[in-house]
Amino acid sequence: MGWQRKVLRVNLTEGNVQVEPLNMEWAQQYLGERGLGSKYLYENMDPSVDALDPANVLIFATGPLTGTMASTSGRYAVITKGALTDAIACSNSGGKFGAELKYAGYDILILEGRAPEPSYLKIYDDNVEIVSAEAIWGKSVWETEDYLKSHHQDPLMKVASIGVAGENCVRFACVVNDLHRAAGRSGVGAVMGSKNLKAIAVRGTVGVSVDDPKTFMQVVKDTHAKLAGSDDVKELAAYGTNAMIDMMQEFGGLPTRNFRDVQFEGVDKINPSAMTHVHENGHKNLLANKACFGCTIACGRISHIDKDHFTISNRPEYWHASGGLEYETAFAFGPDCGIDDIDALTFAGFLMNEHGMDPISFGGTLAAAMELYEMGVITDEDTDGVALNFGNAEALTVMAEKTGKFEGFGQILGLGSRRLCEKYGHPGLSMTVKGQEFAGYDSRALQGMGLGYATGNRGACHMKHDVFGPDMEDQSGAGKAVPCKKSQDKISAIDSTGLCWFTSGTWKITDYQAQVDAACEGDWSVERLFETGERIWNLERQFNLAAGLSKADDSLPERLLKEPAKSGTAKGKVNELDRMLPEYYDVRGWDADGVPTQETLERLGL
């Protein structure tokens, strides 16, 4: 139990829908969500095909705990070959869509081929239809969700969709569910667009069950209580993830102006205090916090924009409340672009959700374009007359809208920073790994974070490893390989449960293990969870090697390796990747070229 034991396979080219039994041998080896979805991806496609080719496969995967009464059990993952990275992509999301897909009876949804015309998928338990999307193609995410709920007269329907950005294969387009939760990274929305698939609308009524209900209820009660009494949870609820912006500023690891600097002079105007500041006209950015399905943390922010602000003063359609600033959005639009206008940042965040784009990658790409503009490489002629200087809030919002609607210079920004910087002859200015833009942690200040970025199977990402503890204690590369590897394995397992990583500040691995063990068949020990995570990590690596990636892709931009941090606790330091990487490969059981040895593969059953 835990699993629904069913896979929904949809061939969009042929218009076929079929239900098949879940491969339970794989479920016991890869658990669910990220792990099991990656296994299905690996076994169902040639990793070397182009990410936008119909032969790429797009998978929506729930975990065995998705939709259960466990706290934060709303997670699902979108797994495919990433349009931004040309590597394996696993982008997970909260909201309510994942639980609804599980309630419809499916662990895994596999989407193959390319629909001959724009379509959406309607899932009502066993009733699955591929429907023409003629009425919604060209519409935003928000318009699409409104239309589908209205058209089907079902306000309880849950929708995951793409905007115009995804339709046009903007490389960092994402899949948005429940209006402002997103499988945001690596361009999974572009892959969905390449398949002519606008949306997935789902209602489920079959529920979920677990292997040992009595034990599960007790374990869930205990883990709920731990979250309720946790200072970490109280801080997440009170401040949201944007609390990080003050910490990174004071630590000296806040990437600023395309990583030229590591501290931002305008941080006080965009931090959590600024979000709760009441202005003379009575306006306050933050209205409330919001939780995903089953979540007892509620880190999400709901904000609105001052009606007098230049972005919306003549646009009443944006006078409503919507998803507010989270740390990564605040960093990417704020310090990285040198902008300290909180309403502009919030509006650009709205646009990301409305049009379905990853704010980290959009912000990173705009920051690179701003540097190129200030160098004179990009000119007003390229930018439709918009001055792309660092600090220009209007440039941020105008370009966010142009990219979302795939207009003018927005089409170039939609390439992502790697392709954009290559186009203009300065590939070194792209702050990416494997083509994916960095999150808001500078790896000159956080050495282990740099190792995690460089070795990330989906490219630069802050959510697939956790070396913060060692990084806070020691700002050299010494001793970072072991905790990096161990945390990657741990997170790979937790990402495969259906639970949210933001519980990890409170829960120990034994808390996840107890919930998995009670929900799922089989004896799930802590050791087995770590081994499962290691198996998943190595499977993802195998996918990438088969896709043509190599040791050369486990790198960092020269700026982080050669230009010392100018200020903060890491002043004078660069990242020591050359020191860490060989040790990491050794700890992983990989050879000097980063290829898993036969012994490692056999040990993991790969």
Residues in contact with other proteins by the rule CB under 8 A: 235, 238-239, 241-244, 246-248, 250-253, 272, 326-328, 439, 441, 446, 462-463, 466, 468-469, 471-475, 501-502, 505, 567-569, 571
Could you tell me the smallest distance in angstroms from the CB atom of residue 462 to other proteins? Answer: 5
| CA–CA separation, 209 and 72 (whole Å) | 17
* Sheet strands side by side (includes 119-124): 127-132, 119-124, 197-203, 158-161, 175-177, 181-183
If the CB atoms of residues 13 and 569 are measured against other proteins, the closer one turns out to be 569
| CA–CA separation, 385 and 329 (whole Å) | 25
If the CB atoms of residues 95 and 240 are measured against other proteins, the closer one turns out to be 240
Distances (CA, A) of 549 to 46, 223, 266, 572: 14, 40, 39, 32
If the CB atoms of residues 170 and 445 are measured against other proteins, the closer one turns out to be 445
| CA–CA separation, 22 and 18 (whole Å) | 12
Q: In angstroms, how far is the first alpha carbon of the chain from the final one? A: 25
If the CB atoms of residues 235 and 407 are measured against other proteins, the closer one turns out to be 235
The secondary structure element, H or E, covering residue 181 is: strand 181-183
Give, in degrees to the nearest 5, the angle at Cα 469 between 464 and 475: 100
The secondary structure element, H or E, covering residue 225 is: helix 213-228
If the CB atoms of residues 244 and 547 are measured against other proteins, the closer one turns out to be 244
If the CB atoms of residues 332 and 520 are measured against other proteins, the closer one turns out to be 332
Residue 575, token pair as written in the block? 């990242």
Could you tell me the smallest distance in angstroms from the CB atom of residue 467 to other proteins? Answer: 10
Could you tell me the smallest distance in angstroms from the CB atom of residue 441 to other proteins? Answer: 8
If the CB atoms of residues 192 and 227 are measured against other proteins, the closer one turns out to be 227
H helix intervals, 140-212: 141-151, 164-167, 188-194
If the CB atoms of residues 168 and 256 are measured against other proteins, the closer one turns out to be 256
If the CB atoms of residues 307 and 571 are measured against other proteins, the closer one turns out to be 571
CA 424 to the chain's CA centroid: 27
H helix intervals, 85-128: 97-103
If the CB atoms of residues 329 and 403 are measured against other proteins, the closer one turns out to be 329
The secondary structure element, H or E, covering residue 346 is: helix 342-355
Could you tell me the smallest distance in angstroms from the CB atom of residue 276 to other proteins? Answer: 13
Q: 266 and 238 in contact (C-beta within 8 Å)?
A: no
Could you tell me the smallest distance in angstroms from the CB atom of residue 254 to other proteins? Answer: 11
Could you tell me the smallest distance in angstroms from the CB atom of residue 247 to other proteins? Answer: 5
| CA–CA separation, 578 and 566 (whole Å) | 21
Q: How many CB atoms lie within 10 A of CB 586?
A: 13
Could you tell me the smallest distance in angstroms from the CB atom of residue 239 to other proteins? Answer: 6
Give 262-295 as a DSSP string: S--TTGGGTSHHHHHPPPTTS--SEEEEE--TT-
Could you tell me the smallest distance in angstroms from the CB atom of residue 379 to other proteins? Answer: 36
Could you tell me the smallest distance in angstroms from the CB atom of residue 433 to other proteins? Answer: 16
| CA–CA separation, 454 and 449 (whole Å) | 9
Could you tell me the smallest distance in angstroms from the CB atom of residue 230 to other proteins? Answer: 12
